[in-house]
Amino acid sequence: MAASAAVFLRLRSGLRQGARGLCARLATPPPRAPDQAAEIGSRAGTKAQTQGPQQQRSSEGPSYAKKVALWLAGLLGAGGTVSVIYIFGNNAVDENGAKIPDEFDNDPILVQQLRRTYKYFKDYRQMIIEPTSPCLLPDPLREPYYQPPYTLVLELTGVLLHPEWSLATGWRFKKRPGIETLFQQLAPLYEIVIFTSETGMTAFPLIDSVDPHGFISYRLFRDATRYMDGHHVKDISCLNRDPARVVVVDCKKEAFRLQPYNGVALRPWDGNSDDRVLLDLSAFLKTIALNGVEDVRTVLEHYALEEDPLEAFKQRQSRLEQEEQKGGEEEAWAKARWFRPVVLELLTVSVQLKPRQKETRNRTKEV
As a three-state string, the secondary structure of 149-177 is CEEEEECCECCCEEEEEECCCEEEEEECC
Q: Give the domain ranges of the chain.
A: 77-129, 150-305
Phi and psi of 152, rounded to 5°? -115, 120
Closest by CA to 211, choosing from 199, 200, 222, 219, is 219
pLDDT score recorded for residue 119 = 78
pLDDT score recorded for residue 63 = 80
Closest by CA to 117, choosing from 87, 79, 94, is 87
Cα four-point dihedral sign 193, 194, 196, 198: negative
pLDDT score recorded for residue 98 = 81
Number of C-beta neighbours around residue 90 at 10 A: 13
pLDDT score recorded for residue 82 = 83
> Which uninterrupted H or E stretch holds 110?
helix 109-129
d(C-alpha 323, C-alpha 18), whole Å: 125
pLDDT score recorded for residue 239 = 94
pLDDT score recorded for residue 13 = 61
d(C-alpha 224, C-alpha 232), whole Å: 9
pLDDT score recorded for residue 267 = 92
3-state percent breakdown (helix, strand, coil) of the chain, nearest 5: 60, 10, 30
Per-residue confidence of the chain (367 residues) as pLDDT tens digits? 444 445 445 545 655 665 565 555 545 555 555 555 455 555 555 554 555 555 555 555 678 788 888 888 888 888 888 888 877 778 777 778 788 888 887 888 788 788 888 877 776 666 666 666 788 999 999 989 999 999 999 999 999 999 988 888 788 899 999 999 999 999 999 999 999 999 999 999 999 999 999 999 999 999 899 988 888 999 999 999 999 999 999 999 999 999 999 999 999 999 999 999 999 999 999 999 999 999 999 999 988 888 889 998 989 888 888 888 877 666 655 555 544 444 344 344 444 544 555 454 555 444 4
Number of C-beta neighbours around residue 153 at 10 A: 26
pLDDT score recorded for residue 259 = 94
Number of H helices, E strands in the chain: 8, 9
Strand partners for 161: 157, 175
pLDDT score recorded for residue 81 = 85
Strand partners for 162: 174
Burial of 239 (0-12, 13-18, 19+ CB in 10 A): buried
* Pair 232, 222: CB distance under 8 Å: yes
d(C-alpha 235, C-alpha 231), whole Å: 12
Strand partners for 250: 265
* Pair 222, 201: CB distance under 8 Å: no
Out of 3.40.50.1000, 1.10.3080.10, 3.80.30.20, 3.30.565.10, select the CATH number for domain 150-305: 3.40.50.1000
pLDDT score recorded for residue 175 = 94
pLDDT score recorded for residue 349 = 44
pLDDT score recorded for residue 263 = 95
d(C-alpha 243, C-alpha 296), whole Å: 9
pLDDT score recorded for residue 18 = 56
Strand partners for 264: 249
What's the CA angle centered on 307, arms 301 and 283, to 5 degrees? 65
Residue type, 244: A
Packed helices 179-186 and 277-290: angle between N→C axes, nearest 10 degrees: 10
